[in-house]
Structure 1
Amino acid sequence: MAAIVPRHEFPTVNAARGVEVLSEGAKEEIADLEESPDFDSALDAALTEAQARCVLDPTANELETWEAYVVAMQIGSAMFASATATEDRVQCRVAHEMRTIPATGVRYYTDAGNWITSFWLAIICREQARMTQLCNVPISLLRESDAVFDEYIYSWVDALQTYWLERPGLGDKLVAAMEGTDPEALQVADRELVLKILYPPINLFYRFLRQDHEQFNAELAKALQWHKEYWTKDEERATSTEGLVALGPLAIASLAYDAGFPIEVESEYLPKHLLRRSWLGEFDT
C-alpha cells in the first residue's frame, strides 16, 4: 500500500491569472538572453512559473506544465553552456527556439546551488545529453562565483558528476557530502534548511545507489514530510510557490523510477506525470 503525503493547502484565488502574469515575465526574461543574458533572473522566472502551474495542476497532467518545466531546464542548461563556452556565442534551444546567446564566463549566478537546480531539472525532464553537459562543468568554475556555501555542496556536486560520468571515487565523495551536512560542520547554511530540504536528496541518492527499494520509499516519504514541515513553518513559506514541488526528491525519485524502482509514495509534492515522464517526446527540447 502506497504511503500518501498530502500537499499543504495553498491559495487558489486568482491562480490562473497569476500564472499568466508569471508566464509573460518569463517570456521577457527569455527574450533578453540573446542580448544581455541574466540567467539568474530567467531561471527564477521560468521555475516560478512552472511551480505556480502546479497550484491548479498538481499532477502535471497538462502539457503546459511539462512545457514550463522543460523551459526552466533549458535555461538552467544554457546558463552553464554559456559559462563554459569557448566561442563568443553559444547555440541553445530555449522555449521552442534556437537562440544565439553570448558567452558569459563565470558570473555571480554560476554557482553550485544553480548547478544542482539545473541538474535536478535535467533529470526530471530526462535530458541525458544536458545531464552530461552539466557534469562536465568544472567544480572550480562553481567555486569562482560570488556565492558562499558550506564545503559539503562541492562534494555533493562531485558525487553527482562522478555517478553520471562513471568516474571512480563515488563512495568517498558521497560520504564527504553526507558528513558535511552534520550541523556541527555547517558554517553558512541554515540548519533547518539543510535538515529538511538539502540533506534529503543526498540521503535518497545513497538509498538509490544501494538499490534498497523498501528503504528508498521509506526515506522518500520522510523527505516529503520534512519538505511539508519546512514549507508550512510560517505564512510566508506556506504561500510560496517554491514549496509546491519537492524538486530534489522528485529528481532522485525520477532516477529511481527509470531504474525500475517501485515508487510507493504518492504526493502532489511529486507531480505524477513529471515522475512518470508522461509528456516525454511531445515536442523537441
Structure 2
Amino acid sequence: MTVNFSRHNLPSGPDSERLAEQVDVDLFRRIDRLEEKTEVIDFAFSSAILSLRAHCVTDPRAAAVETWEAAVNAMQLGSAFFAVTGITEGHVECRINRKMRALPAARGPRSSADAGNWLSAFWLAVICREQRRMTELCEIPLDRLRAPEGAYDEYIYHWVDTLQTYWLQRPGLVEKLTAAIEMSDPSVARIAPVDLLQGQLYPPINLFYHFVTRDTEGFAPALIETLKLHQAYWTLTEERATDIDGSIALGPLAIACLAYDGKFPIGVESDYLPKHLLQHTWLGEFPT
C-alpha cells in the first residue's frame, strides 16, 4: 500500500512561474561568467539549487524537462564547484548548462567549499544518477571540507565520512554511521538550532540507516516520518511556510533514489519527492 503525503501549500500560479524564470535568467548569467572567473561559482551553485526548488513549486512531479534540466544544472555546478576549488592553477573542463566550459582554478581557498555544500552536491549527483561525479566527490579528503570553527557541529564530518565510506566501499561504515547518529543528538550538538537538527539534519541520517541495513520493511515508515518532520519544520512559521526552500526534501529524495534503485518498496508518494526525479524518468534526455 502506498501512502500519499501531501506537500504544504506554497505560492503557485503565474507569480511562481515568473520567479522560476527570473531565477534562471540570473543563474544563466552567472554560469556564462564562470570562464572569466570562478569567484562567483558558489553563488551560481546556490542559485542553481534555488532554481530547482522554484521549478518544483510549479512542477511538483518534475514532469517537465525544464525541471530535470534545473536538477542537472545544479548537479553540474556542485561538481564544478568542488573541482575548481580543488586545484590552484590551470583549468577544469566542465559541462554546465549544455555546454563544455574551461573553468579557471579558484584563487585561494574557498571557505564555502565545505561539508554543508558537499552534502548538497552529493545529493544532486545521487538524484541525477551520476556515479562518476559521486565517486569524485567522495574522493575529496575530509580535511578539505572543514569549515571555520563554529560553523558546523562535529556530527556533519562523521556524516560525510559515512557517505564517502559507503560509496567507496571502505571499511568502518558501521562505526562511522554510529558516530554520526550519536554526534547529531541534540544533547551533543551545540551549534545547529534544535528545530533545524531534528527537522532537517538528523532525519536523512536515520533514513540512511534503514537503507544501508537493508531494512526494507522499516524504510517506508522512516521515509514518511522524515517527510512529516520536513513539513513540520517548513510550516513552523508563516515566513517558512512560503519559502520555496521547503518545496522538496533534497537529502531524503537522494536516499529514496538509492532505495528505489535498490528495489526497496518506497511506500509513499509526495511532492516533496518529485516522482520523475525519484524514478529518473528523464535520465539520458541530454548529456550530463
Corresponding residue for 1:7? 7
Aligned counterparts of 1:251 and 1:11: Cα–Cα separation in 2: 25
The alignment status of 1:132 with 2:135, answered yes or no, reads: yes
Aligned Cα root-mean-square deviation (Å): 1.2
**Which residue of structure 2 lines up, in the alignment, with residue 183 of structure 1?**
186
Instruction: State whether residues 26 and 46 of structure 1, in contact with CA within 8 Å, keep that contact through their aligned partners in structure 2.
Output: yes
Look up the match of 1:273: 276
The equivalences for 1:1-285 within 5 A come to 1-13=1-13, 14-37=15-38, 38-85=40-87, 87-104=89-106, 106-143=109-146, 148-285=151-288
Cα distance in structure 1, aligned partners of 2:167 and 2:150: 25
Give the secondary structure class of the aligned counterpart of 1:100: strand
The 8 Å contact of residues 106 and 141 in structure 1, kept in 2 or not, is answered as no
Alignment coverage as a number of residue pairs: 285
In terms of mean alpha carbon deviation, does 140-149 or 159-168 score higher? 140-149
The answer to whether the 8 A contact 1:162-1:168 is kept is yes
Q: How big is each residue's C-alpha offset from its partner over 1:26-71, in whole Å with a ceiling of 9 and x where there is no partner?
A: 1011112112222221011111111111112100000000000100
Question: How far, CA to CA, are the matches of 2:132 and 2:248 in structure 1?
Answer: 24
The aligned amino acid for 1:250 is: L
Would the aligned equivalents of 1:112 and 1:154 in 2 still touch at CA under 8 Å? yes
- Measure, in 2, the Cα distance between the counterparts of 1:281 and 1:94: 15
**2:150, 2:191 within 8 Å by CA — same for their partners in 1?**
no
Give the drift of 1:85: 2.7
Structure 1 gaps of 5+ residues are: none
- Report the alpha carbon displacement of residue 11 of structure 1 after superposing the two structures with TM: 1.1
Tell me how far apart the structure 2 counterparts of residues 127 and 146 of structure 1 sit (CA, whole Å).
Answer: 32
Q: Identify the range of structure 1 (79-88 vs 255-264) with the bigger mean alpha-carbon deviation.
A: 79-88
- Contact 1:111/1:145, CA 8 A, preserved across alignment: no
Displacement after TM superposition at 1:146 (Å): 7.3
1:102 corresponds to which letter in structure 2?
A: P
* Cα deviation 1:50-101 (Å, max 9, x = unaligned): 1111112100000000000100000000011112236421111111111111
Q: Quick one: distance in 2 between partners of 1:184 and 1:112? A: 22
TM-score by length of 2: 0.96
Cα distance per residue 1:179-228 (max 9 Å; x no partner): 01111111211111111111111111110011111201000000001000
Checking the alignment, whether the CA contact within 8 Å between 2:79 and 2:133 is kept in structure 1 is: yes
User: Is 2:114–2:146's contact at 8 Å kept on the other side of the alignment?
Assistant: yes
Give me the whole-angstrom Cα distance separating, in 1, the residues matched to 2:186 and 2:56. Answer: 33
Residue 145 of structure 1, CA deviation: 5.4
Aligned with 2:102: secondary structure? Answer: strand
Aligned partner of residue 158 in structure 1, secondary structure: helix
Report SS of the residue matched to 1:69. Answer: helix
Q: What displacement does 1:2 show?
A: 1.1
Cα 1:51–1:144 change in 2 (3 A) is closer
Distance 2:104 2:112 in 1: 15
Q: Distance in 1 between matches of 2:30 and 2:224?
A: 36
The CA distance in 2 between the partners of 1:30 and 1:188, in whole Å, is: 33
In 2: Cα distance, 1:252 partner to 1:233 partner: 24
CA distance in 1, matches of 2:37, 2:197: 34
Residues in 1 aligned to 2:100 and 2:150: alpha-carbon distance in whole angstroms = 30
Aligned AA for 1:30?
Answer: I
38-47 or 152-161, which deviates more: 38-47
Q: State the alpha-carbon separation in 2 of the partners of residues 86 and 233 from structure 1.
A: 43
Q: Is the 8 A contact 1:109 1:145 kept in 2?
A: no
5+ residue gaps, structure 2, are none
Q: What percentage of aligned pairs have identical amino acids? A: 52
| Runs of 4+ displaced beyond 2 Å | 144-147
SS at match of 1:34: coil
